[in-house]
Amino acid sequence: MSPDYGEKISYLVLQPNTPVYTSDGQPAGTVKRVLAVPDEDIYDGLILDTHDGERFIDAPHASELYERAVVLDITADQLHHLPEPTANPAALKVDPDDTVKHSFGEELGETLRKAWDRISGNY
């Protein structure tokens, strides 16, 4: 008899402390945190609370989300190879001041190339 995990759910309603199981049915721990950006519909993965401490698993490997359980697509043996969570990298944002500055000669050359392309029909 297979366990009753309930209905499939979205990561948007997945709750902390939900039990997590490996693909071979072994307990893996519980959900500590869902890593997502709901406004952009981005599900990055889960931080799990396991016997080995906190572990990160990517969303594609934790996509079987149910009301009462998460089923990973890895086995109990593979669970021990999951990485510890790390801090998020800084978000990069490019501002107009961050663009490459060109010398006057480079800017003049680019302007002349654009003009020649227009005159010759190569635009």
Asked whether residue 99 is domain-assigned, the answer is no
Pairing state of beta strands 53-58 and 19-21?
Answer: unpaired
Q: How far apart are CA 111 and CA 102, in angstroms?
A: 12
The pTM of the full predicted model, rounded to 2 decimals, is 0.69
Asked whether residue 2 is domain-assigned, the answer is no
Per-residue model confidence as pLDDT tens for the chain (123 residues): 568 999 999 999 999 999 999 999 999 999 999 999 888 888 999 999 999 999 999 999 998 999 999 999 999 999 989 999 887 654 555 555 555 556 667 777 777 788 787 787 765
Give me the pLDDT at residue 114, please. 80
Asked whether residue 60 is domain-assigned, the answer is yes
Asked whether residue 90 is domain-assigned, the answer is no
* Domain count within the chain: 1
Asked whether residue 36 is domain-assigned, the answer is yes
49 within 8 A of 30, measured Cβ to Cβ: yes
Asked whether residue 123 is domain-assigned, the answer is no
28 within 8 A of 76, measured Cβ to Cβ: yes
Asked whether residue 84 is domain-assigned, the answer is no
Which two tokens mark 93? 């944002």
Q: How far apart are CA 58 and CA 47, in angstroms?
A: 9
CATH number of 70's domain: 2.30.30.240
Dihedral (C-alpha) 51, 13, 11, 31: value to the nearest 10 degrees? 0
Domain assignment of residue 73, given as a range: 11-79
